[in-house]
């Protein structure tokens, strides 16, 4: 902020902490925090993401996005009367995983939120780096597969109404745009604020759907939330993703508000994208019973390749035992 003439909050006249260009507002710390909380609360209502008496499984990596989401869902849950249970996956990625796990453990303790920790090495005998080394597959593709599978297993076992993910505006819009360019229109239906549960898949909610990465970072900082500062060492540096993101940010600086309008327009039309699926009959994995397009699900195929046998059914049993000892089975 320039010295001399101090810029003041448009609502109360206190020194401003930030400018919200699309709302034509300068906001102080207090009003910025209220602004974001109101937005998330409105999204939860507008998109019917959570309701009284429901049970939400919240996936928390320890980064600023998922920590902010957990904090905001925790706050909202007290007003709206739903239950929040956190899930952290320790992927065994050196100090990055160690620090992430500690932060999530402390934060959940401070909120009084029940926390489930799945340690990949304990669960299947291999950490993510070991799986990458053995399979030579891209780390994020293995990681994504494992996380999707395990989130679904835990959500099913605890009978969660949905699993909450910390994806925000700047994660989702580039994917939506890329899928539009490639005309993978059905994929767009999975990138909205809410994906309903369908046979064998627990639905997903994204409470930060229309909050930008910059707003989340500032909210986390001003609210003194603890989060892992370093990035996962496998974070993708794909140039197309970066360029699409930059393109959207350039558009936003020329036309403030265009990103939120884009996201909300997609959310309004999600039902149209859902009708564009190529009819595929889902089977059940012969090993673990998970929904799968093949006889064996991707998780069982992966573990079969590295461990010599498919581990889906064993992993589900281990998880069930752990949830039972935590008193979280319904």
Judged by CB under 6 A, which of 36, 70, 72, 143 binds ligand Q46? 143
Judged by CB under 5 A, which of 58, 87, 288, 315 binds Zn ion? 288
Q: Is 94 in the site for ligand Q46 (CB under 6 A)?
A: no
Quote the least distance from Cβ 89 to ligand Q46, whole Å.
Answer: 9
Q: Is 232 in the site for ligand Q46 (CB under 6 A)?
A: yes
Q: Is 28 in the site for Zn ion (CB under 5 A)?
A: yes
Measured from the CB atom, the residue of 139 and 312 that comes closer to ligand Q46 is 139
Structure token pair of residue 165: 């993910």
* Among Zn ion, ligand Q46, none, partner that 9 touches (CB below 5 to 8 angstroms by kind): Zn ion
Judged by CB under 5 A, which of 89, 285, 302, 319 binds Zn ion? 285
Measured from the CB atom, the residue of 1 and 181 that comes closer to Zn ion is 1
Measured from the CB atom, the residue of 53 and 138 that comes closer to ligand Q46 is 138
Judged by CB under 6 A, which of 54, 234, 286, 318 binds ligand Q46? 234
Q: Is 62 in the site for ligand Q46 (CB under 6 A)?
A: no
Mind spelling out the 3-state secondary structure of the chain? CCCCCCCECCCCCCECCEEEHHHCEEECHHHHHHHHHHHHHHHHHHCCCCCCCCEEEEECCCCHHHHHHHHHHHHHHHHHCCEEEEEEEECCCHHHHHHHHHHHHHHHHHHCCCEEEEEHHHHHCCCHHHHHHHHCCCHHHHHHHHHHHHHHHHHHHCCCCEEECCCCHHHHHHHHHHHHHCCCHHHHCCCCCEECCECCECCEECCCCCCCHHHHHHHHHHCCCCCCCCCCCCCCCCHHHHHHHHHHHHHHHHCCCHHHHHHHHHHHCHHHHHCCCCCCCCEECCCCCCEECCCCCHHHHHHHHHHCCCCHHHHHHHHHHHHHHCCCCC
Cβ contact 22:64 at 8 Å: no
Measured from the CB atom, the residue of 40 and 132 that comes closer to ligand Q46 is 132
Judged by CB under 5 A, which of 7, 12, 198, 317 binds Zn ion? 12
Quote the least distance from Cβ 232 to ligand Q46, whole Å.
Answer: 3
Q: Write the binding mask 289 to 308 for Zn ion: x where contact by CB under 5 A, - elsewhere.
A: -x------x--x--------
* Among Zn ion, ligand Q46, none, partner that 144 touches (CB below 5 to 8 angstroms by kind): ligand Q46
Q: Is 140 in the site for ligand Q46 (CB under 6 A)?
A: yes
The angle subtended at Cα 81 by Cα 316 and Cα 195, nearest 5°, is: 50
Q: Which span sits near ligand Q46 by CB under 6 A: 219-227, 229-237, 243-251, 318-326?
A: 229-237
Exposed, middle or buried by CB within 10 Å (0-12, 13-18, 19+), for 200? Answer: middle
Judged by CB under 6 A, which of 62, 92, 139, 166 binds ligand Q46? 139
Which residues lie near Zn ion (CB under 5 A)? 9, 11-12, 14, 28, 31, 285, 287-288, 290, 297, 300, 312
Residue ranges that bind ligand Q46, judged by CB under 6 A: 139-140, 143-144, 232, 234-235
């Amino acid at each position: 902020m320039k010295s001399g003439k101090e810029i003041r909050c448009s609502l109360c006249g206190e020194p401003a902490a930030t400018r919200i260009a699309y709302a034509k507002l300068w906001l102080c710390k207090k009003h910025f925090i209220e602004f974001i909380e109101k937005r998330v609360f409105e999204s939860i209502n507008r998109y019917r993401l959570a309701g009284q008496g429901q049970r939400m499984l919240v996936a928390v990596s320890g980064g600023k996005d998922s920590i902010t989401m957990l904090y905001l869902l925790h706050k909202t849950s007290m007003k709206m009367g739903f239950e929040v249970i956190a899930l952290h996956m320790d992927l065994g990625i050196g100090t990055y995983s160690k620090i992430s796990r500690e932060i999530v453990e402390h934060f959940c303790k401070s909120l009084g939120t029940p926390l489930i920790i799945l340690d990949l090495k304990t669960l299947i005998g291999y950490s993510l780096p070991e799986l990458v080394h053995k399979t030579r597959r891209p780390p994020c593709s293995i990681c994504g597969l494992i996380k999707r599978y395990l989130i679904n297993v835990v959500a099913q076992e605890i009978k969660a109404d949905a699993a909450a993910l910390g994806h925000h505006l700047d994660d989702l819009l580039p994917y939506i745009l890329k899928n539009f360019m490639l005309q993978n229109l059905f994929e767009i239906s999975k990138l909205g604020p809410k994906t309903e549960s369908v046979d064998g898949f627990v639905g997903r909610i994204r409470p930060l759907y229309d909050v930008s990465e910059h707003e989340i970072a500032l909210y986390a900082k001003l609210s003194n939330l603890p989060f892992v500062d370093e990035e996962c060492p496998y974070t993708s540096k794909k140039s197309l993703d970066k360029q699409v993101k930059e393109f959207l940010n350039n558009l936003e600086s020329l036309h403030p508000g265009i990103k939120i309008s884009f996201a909300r327009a997609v959310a309004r039309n999600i039902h149209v994208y859902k009708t564009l699926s190529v009819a595929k009959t889902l089977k059940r994995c012969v090993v673990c019973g998970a929904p799968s397009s093949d006889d064996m699900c991707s998780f069982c195929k992966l573990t079969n390749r590295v461990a010599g046998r498919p581990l889906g059914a064993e992993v589900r049993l281990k998880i069930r035992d752990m949830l039972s000892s935590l008193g979280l089975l319904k």
